[in-house]
Amino acid sequence: MRLIEEYDPSLPATWVDPDQFMQVFLNLLKNAAEAAGEKGGTIRIRTFYDHGLRLRRPDGTGTGLPLQVEIIDDGPGLPAEIAGQVFEPFVSGRENGTGLGLALVSKIISDHDGWVSVESRPGKTKFRISLPVAPPDAPPRCAPRRAQ
Ligand SMILES: Nc1ncnc2c1ncn2[C@@H]1O[C@H](COP(=O)(O)OP(=O)(O)OP(=O)(O)O)[C@@H](O)[C@H]1O
Ligand SMILES: [Mg+2]
For residue range 11-63, list pLDDT tens digits in order. Answer: 999 999 999 999 999 999 999 999 988 888 999 999 999 988 888 888 888 88
Is residue 142 domain-resident? no
Q: What angle do CA 76, 77, 80 make, to 5 degrees?
A: 115
Is 147 a residue whose pLDDT tops 80?
no
Is residue 29 domain-resident? yes
Is residue 98 domain-resident? yes
CATH of the domain at 35: 3.30.565.10
Is residue 107 domain-resident? yes
Q: What percent of the chain has pLDDT over 70?
A: 93
Burial label for 129, CB within 10 Å (0-12, 13-18, 19+), is buried
Q: What does the pLDDT read at residue 141?
A: 47
Please tell me if the CB atom of residue 125 comes closer than 6 angstroms to any atom of ligand 1.
yes
Structural domain count, the chain: 1
Give the domain range for residue 20.
2-133
Is 118 a residue whose pLDDT tops 70?
yes
Distance CA 7, CA 28 (A): 17
Ligand nearest to the CA of 87: 1
pTM: 0.91
Which strand (E) or helix (H) includes residue 100? none
Please tell me if the CB atom of residue 92 comes closer than 6 angstroms to any atom of ligand 1.
yes
Is residue 26 domain-resident? yes
Is residue 140 domain-resident? no
Please tell me if the CB atom of residue 89 comes closer than 6 angstroms to any atom of ligand 1.
no
Task: Output the CA 66–ligand 1 centroid distance in Å.
Answer: 26
pLDDT tens digit string along 68-89? 999 999 999 999 999 999 999 9
| pLDDT average, residue stretch 86-100 | 95
Chain centroid, CA 128 distance in Å: 5
Is residue 33 domain-resident? yes
Please give the radius of gyration of the chain, using alpha carbons only, rounded to the nearest integer.
16
Task: Output the CA 86–ligand 1 centroid distance in Å.
Answer: 7
